[in-house]
Amino acid sequence: MLRVTSDEYEAELTRLIERCHEAGLSAHDRDQMLDLTTHNEGTIALEHLCTQLHEYDIALSHETREAIRKVSKAYRVGDDYTSLLDELPIAP
């Protein structure tokens, strides 16, 4: 079984935050989330990410949604946050 380290999850979360910034997440929110991530607060960063994506109705690809869900499971983010992704528009 492949084991993923916390550093790999942090790196993936950082990539996802940047990808969401490219999709429309504000620079201010991105910077806050990256700061949380580098201070071992990935769970809070992911909860904030899901909330802000929903708040600003940012379109995401299926691939990005699934990647967020996968990392969210690793960080034990509740379904009440990741379910917000289902309400977002789908990016082309």
Task: Give the pLDDT band of residue 6 (cuts 50, 70, 90).
Answer: confident
What is the overall mean pLDDT for the chain?
93
| pLDDT > 70? residue 1 | no
pLDDT for 92: 78
| Domain-located, residue 45 | yes
Please list, residue by residue across 56-65, b when 16 or more beta carbons sit within 10 angstroms of its beta carbon and e when fewer do: eebebeeebb
pLDDT for 52: 98
| Domain-located, residue 31 | yes
| Domain-located, residue 1 | no
What is the total count of domains within the chain? 1
pLDDT for 17: 98
Task: Give the pLDDT band of residue 60 (cuts 50, 70, 90).
Answer: very high
| Domain-located, residue 58 | yes
| Domain-located, residue 28 | yes
| Domain-located, residue 77 | yes
Q: Which domain holds residue 61?
A: 6-87
Q: What angle do CA 13, 8, 60 make, to 5 degrees?
A: 30
Neighbours of 88 (CB within 10 A): 18
